[in-house]
Amino acid sequence: MTNSLQQPGINFAPGAGLPGGGATPAPIHDIVGPVPFFSGPLWVIVAVLLAVALAGGLLWWFAGWKKAVKPTPRESALRELAKLRASLSAGSDHDFGVGVSDVLRRFLGEALGLAAPRQTTEEFLESLRGSLRFVPAEQEALAEFLHRSDYLKYAQGEAGLEQREALIVAAESFVTSGGTPPASPAETGSAVAVPPPVPPVIPERKEAA
């Protein structure tokens, strides 16, 4: 029986076809050492690593600092009211009414968790009935402020510099001293300073021709 590994004209015997019948070993090459990742002086590598670490540290510090200095709702509201005071005589009465009302409503929503930004004036005032968040005198002052600003926003009302300043003062009073419900009924008289009333708008009397 013929061996399956043997084919005509091909000899698979070791050392076949070589002089002396011996196998020639394959040449052994020298083992190459590890190739360095950085090719350059050591001080350059150290400088690059230090620069990368310093840049990462600065980015981390800046991100933490920026997050730490985020203004509170009270600070944001007072800043917006200061802008309105700085341009007290600028803009229409409608725009001023919208601006001063939005500042206080946004503060009531962000700082106190009230639904003032999403509710109408009547809905918001109704939601305060029976609440200890504001004493009755404060609720009356808040209602006066909202009705005055609505008068400018929706009824094409007019407001002089005195009326505008009074609305800003009223909003600042709620922002600076509001936000903490009284701990007991005995403290309801001194929880929040009631803002001053807004002077009414007296129309100018036209002289008869």
Q: What distance in Å separates the CA atoms of residue 152 and residue 59, rounded to the nearest whole number?
A: 47
For the cut 70, the answer to whether the pLDDT of residue 194 exceeds it is no
Q: Is 94 contained in some domain?
A: yes
- Give the model confidence (pLDDT) of 86-107 as tens digits: 999 999 999 999 999 999 999 9
Radius of gyration of the chain measured on its C-alpha atoms: 41
Length of the chain: 209
pLDDT at 188: 37
State the Cα angle at 85 between 79 and 88, rounded to 5°: 145
Joined together, the tokens standing for residue 165 give 């300043």
With respect to residue 49, please indicate whether it lies within any of the assigned structural domains.
no
Q: Which residues contact 128 (CB under 8 A, 6 or more apart)?
A: 134, 139, 142
The CA distances from residue 89 to 32, 77, 84, 95, 202, in Å, are: 82, 20, 9, 11, 18
Residue 143 to residues 102, 121, 148, 155, Cα–Cα distance (Å): 14, 8, 8, 17
Beta-carbon contacts of residue 139 (< 8 Å; ≥ 6 apart) = 125, 128
How many domains in the chain?
1
pLDDT at 181 over 70: no
Rounded distance between C-alpha atoms, residue 136 and residue 14, angstroms? 111
pLDDT at residue 42 tops 90: no
- Domain span at 98: 73-181
Supply the angle between the helices 73-86 and 93-112 in degrees, to the nearest 10: 170
| Tokens encoding 30 | 């020298």
Q: Give the confidence band of 197 by pLDDT, cuts at 50, 70, 90.
A: low
Cα separation of 83 and 40, whole Å? Answer: 58
Query: Is the pLDDT at 209 greater than 60, yes or no?
Result: no
User: Could you give the percent of the chain with pLDDT greater than 70?
Assistant: 60
The answer to the question of residue 157 being in a domain is yes
pTM of the model: 0.58
What pLDDT, on a 0 to 100 scale, did the predictor assign at position 207? 47
Higher pLDDT, 9 or 140: 140
**Which tops the pLDDT comparison, 184 or 51?**
51
Residue with more model confidence, 127 or 35: 127
Decide if 105 is inside a domain: yes
26 in any annotated domain? no
For the segment 77-87, the average pLDDT, to the nearest whole number, is 95
Domain assignment present for residue 137? The answer is yes
The reply to whether 33 falls in a domain is no
pLDDT at 130: 82
Higher-confidence position of 2 and 63: 63
